[in-house]
Chains A and B, each alone.
Chain A
Amino acid sequence: MAVLKASGLGKVFPGVVALDGVDLELRGGYVHALIGANGAGKSTLIKILTGYYPSYEGRIELNGQLISIHKPSDAFRYGIEVVHQEVDTTLIPYLSIAENLLIEKLATPAEGFFVRKRELHRQARQILQTLQLDMDVDQPVADLSLPQKQLLVIARAISRNASFLILDEPTASLGVSDVERLFTMIRKLKQRGVSFLYVSHRLTEIQEIADDITILRGGKKVAYFNRETFEMSKAIEAMLGAQPGKLFPTRMPITERELVLEVRNLGWGKRLKNISFQAFRGEVLGITGLTGAGKTELLNILAGCEKADHGDIILDGKVVHFRQPKDAIRHGIFLIPEDRRHRGLWIEHSIRTNVTLPFIRDFSYLSFVLSFKEISHVLQIINRLKLVPPNPEMTVKNLSGGNQQKVVIGKWLLQKGRVVLFDEATQGIDIGAKQEVYVLARELAHTSAVIFSSSDVDEVLGLADHVLVMRDGQIVGEFDTQPIDRQQVMELATGAVRTTTAYTTAQEE
C-alpha cells in the first residue's frame, strides 16, 4: 500500500507564517482527518500537497522515496487529487456524466475527431459499476444533485488511479443520508487501498470515519489522535487552544415569552404543505431536518423572498402580506440567509458598506450618507461581534468564514427586529465562531422571536427551546420539553426507523 509521508512542511507569506513544520502521513486504506479552525493552515497544507505552490519548506516522500511536488501536474502524477467543496467548478454542466468522467480522454488528440459515444458510455459505465454507483451515463451533469456531483468527482479521481484523495469539507452542504452514502463510498475505497485526507469542521463525522486525526492551530500541528485515543473534548480544546467554554448558551426561563409570529396552514406547491407553528419572543425556535426538507423555503417565505400559495402569516396579531423582502423588513422580519457569499454579502465591499446598507437611510441626512455616523455604528457592531480585524474599511473578501457570517448578522443589529431568521448560519465556520453565533442568537431572543434553522441536528437541539422537525415540506415533529431525544428527531427527519447509526455499523464491520 502506498504511503505518502510529509515532514516539516512549512510555508511563509510576507509577514505571515501560514504553515510551520507540520508532519503528516497518509497510508493506503486509511482515512486521515485534518481539522482546525479557519486560518489554521489546512488549505495551505492542501495547496502544498496538490502542487499549488512552486516553493515551500519540508520534504515529501512516497513509499520512502523523496518526491518533488511543485506544480499541479506533479501531484497528479503521484496520484494526489483533491475534491473541493465546490464540486461544480470542476464539472462541465452541459456535458453528460460519461463525458465528464472521461474528459481527459476526450481532450487527447489520439481519440480522433469524432466522439465514439458508444465506447465512451461503455467505459463510463464500467467505472461507475466498479464503484457501485447507479447513474445514467448519458444524463447531463447539470441535472445532478450536489451529492451526486460529489460522488461523480470522486469516481473520476479514482478512475484516473488517484491513490491519495483529499476531501475538502465534503459534507458542508450534504444532508444526513447523503453523508452516509459518501461514507459508504469512502469505506469501499478504503478497502481498495485508497488513502484519504479528510478535512472537516464536523467532529461527529470525524469520530465516525477517521482513522488518524491531525489537528492544526496557527499553522502548527498541535495534536494527533488515532481512532482509539480520539476524544471530542480534547479535540475541541486543541483546536481552540483553550479550555472550551460551554458550546451553547444557557436557556432563559420561559415565563417572559410573548407570541410574535404565527403561521397558519402555509402551503407552497409541492415544497411546503400545511405548515403551522408559533414563534415567541424570549425563545429560540429551532427547525431541523435534512437538506431539502423545506426549511430554507419556509424561511424565504417568512422573509418575503417567495410567496406562499395559501395560508396566513400573522405578525403581532395581524395578517401580513409581503411582496418582496423590503416589506418583511419593514415589519421587522430579518433573514440571515443560507449561502452567505451569494445571498448575504458584498464581498468586494468593506465591512462598513455591508453592515450599514439595510438601514442606510438612518445614516443619511438629506440623502447624503454621513460616514462619521456610519463608522461609529460599525465600530460598535465590530465590538459587539468581536469581528477581527476591527477595521471598518476591511474588504469582506479577506475575512475568514466566521467573520463574514458575523458581518451578515451585523447588518440587522441596528434595529430591533420582531423576528430574526437564521438559515444554516453556522455552515462552514469554525467552532469558535459557531459558539459566538449561538450566543448572538440567544441574545437576540431577548428582544425578538428567533427562528434558528439548521440541518445540523445537534446544534438545533443544543440551542433551541422548542424544536420543529421537517421532512418533505411538512412539519413531522414538535418537541417542547428538554431534553429532546436525538434519536427520535433523527428518525423523524429521515422518515425511517433506524436502530443503528452509521457509526455502530462501521464498528461492526
Chain B
Amino acid sequence: MTSDKTPTASRKAGIAVAKPIRVNLGSFLSRFFLRYGLILTLILVSLFFSIRTQAFASIDNLLDILRAVSILTIVALGVTFSVVVSGFDVSVGAVTGLAVILSTALMVIWGVPWYFAILICLAVGAIIGLLNSFLIIRLRIPDLLATLGVLYLVQGLQMSITKGDAVYKGMTNPWSPTREIAGGAIHPNFLFLGQGFVLSSEAFRGIPVPVVIMAVIALIAFIFLEFSRFGRIFYAVGGNIEAARLAGVDVNKVRMTAYVISSVLATIGGLVLAARIGSGAVKAGDPYLLDAVAATYFGFAVLNARRANVFGTVLGAIFVGVMLNGLTMMNIPWYIQDVIKGLVLIVSLGLSYYTTRR
C-alpha cells in the first residue's frame, strides 16, 4: 500500500469526489471535447459545407441561415425560460400559430392598424402566459398537462378566428353573412418585420430584420439570465424551488414571469412569421414547438452546461439551421431533414450525458 503517499490534504479538504492530481492527457481531451465539442462540430460542419458547395460560405448565405432560424430561436428562447425555472411549456407552437392568424386577421378582416394588431397580439400572448401560470401555480396542474390543455385551447381559438380559413388579401370575410371580400390588407410596415433588411447598401444586401429582432431578444435574454440578479433567482427556482422559497424568493412570481415570457416570445415569433409569409396560414406555428424544445435541450450540451441556457439554445437553433441549409445545398432530399435533426439531438445529448455519468 502506498500509505506514505496518501494525499491527506485533499481528504482533509472534505472533497467527496476523488480529484485527479496528475494531468492526464486522455481526461484532458475528453473534458475539452465535452466543453467545446459541439462548437467544434459546428465549425467543422460549416467548413465541410463550404468546401463541398460554393454558395455556402458567403455572408448572404450566412444571413439566410440566421434568418431561417430566427423565428425558431425566438420561440426556443421562450421555452428556455420555462425550462430554466424547471417548468415546461408545450403551448408555444399553438401560441405562435395564434399570433400568425390573429395579427393578419385583425389587419385583413377588421382593418385594424398594424401597430394595434401587434399590441393586441402581445397582450393576448401575455394573457395566455398568465393562464398557463394560473393553471400550474394556483390549480397545481402538472406543467406538461396544463400547457397541453392550453395548446388545444389556443389551437381551437386560432381556427375559430377565421372559421378555419387562412388569411390572405382578398379573402372572403368568414364573419360576413353575405360572404363579401375582406377590405383590409397587411401593411408594408408589418411585412418589413419579416421581409425587410437594414443597413442595405449597393454592395451589401443588408441584415434581415428577423435576424436583428432575434439578436436583440437573445442579447437581452442572455444578459438577463447570466448577469442579472433575476437570472440568479430564476436558476435558483429551477435548481431547488423549496430552497429558493426558504431563501426569500417569491417563487410563484418567478414562475409566472417565466411562463409569461415564454408566451410573449412565442407571440413575437408568430408575428415575425406572419410578416415573413405575408399571410395567415392555419397552424403555421405547429412545427416550432418540437424544434424549439429540441434547440433548448440541445443547449444543455453546449459548453457542457447541463442546464438550459441562452447561448446554448441560440447555438442549438443555428446548428439545426446550418445542417438543414447545407444539406439542402448538397441536394439531400427534404424528407431526410427530420432524420438529421433527430440524429443531431441524440448524438449531442448522448455525448454530454453519457460521458459525465459516474
Contacts and interface: CB of A to CB of B under 8 A. Distances in A.
A20 interface: yes
B201 interface: no
Given A363-B229, A369-B227, A15 B16 contact: no
Contacts of A343: 240, 242-243, 246
Contacts of B54: none
A356 B232 CA distance: 10
A7 interface: no
A495 interface: no
B11 A219 contact: yes
Contact of A389 (B5, B13, B236, B248): B13
Interface string B214-253: 0000000000000111111101100110111111111000
A434 interface: no
Contact of A367 (B3, B228, B240): B228
B333 interface: no
Interface string A300-333: 0001010000000000000000001110011000
Interface string A317-354: 00000001110011000010100001111111100010
B14 A326 contact: no
Contact of B7 (A16, A346, A411): A16
Interface residues of B, number: 42
A220 interface: yes
Interface stretch (B18-26, B136-144, B260-268, B345-353): B18-26
B58 interface: no
Contact of A220 (B3, B15, B227, B248): B3
Interface in A181-232: 218-220
A162 to B, nearest CB: 27
Interface stretch (A90-98, A268-276, A394-402): A394-402
Contact of A368 (B15, B227, B239, B240): B227
A259 interface: no
Given A367-B229, A398-B17, A345 B1 contact: no
| A contacts with B: majority SS | mixed
Contact of A18 (B18, B20, B228): B18
B355 interface: no
A409 to B, nearest CB: 13
Contact of B243 (A17, A21, A38, A346): A346
Nearest to B18: A13
A17 B246 contact: no
Contacts, number: 134
A218 B228 contact: no
B6 interface: yes
A348 B21 contact: no
A165 B24 CA distance: 39
A16 B242 CA distance: 35
Contacts of A17: 1-3, 5-7
Given A303-B246, A325-B245, A346-B243, A357 B232 contact: yes
B179 interface: no
A392 interface: no
Interface in A365-399: 367-369, 388-389, 397-399
Given A38-B14, A343-B242, A16 B19 contact: yes
A363 B20 CA distance: 34
Contacts of B230: 367
A244 interface: no
Contacts of B20: 14-15
Nearest to A326: B248
Given A17-B7, A353-B232, A39 B16 contact: yes
B178 interface: no
A57 interface: yes
Most buried by A among B2, B12, B243: B243
Contact of B236 (A21, A357, A361, A388): A357
Most buried by A among B10, B14, B17, B250: B14
B2 A12 contact: yes
Given A15-B22, A326-B250, A57 B1 contact: yes
Given A218-B11, A342-B242, A326 B228 contact: no
Contacts of A345: 240, 243
Interface in B243-298: 243-250
Nearest 5 A/B pairs, CB to CB: A13-B18, A15-B21, A329-B248, A400-B14, A346-B239
Given A326-B248, A357-B236, 9 more contacts: A20-B1, A305-B246, A343-B240, A346-B239, A346-B243, A357-B233, A363-B229, A367-B230, A368-B229
10 contacts: A14-B19, A16-B11, A16-B19, A305-B245, A324-B245, A360-B232, A367-B230, A368-B228, A368-B229, A400-B16
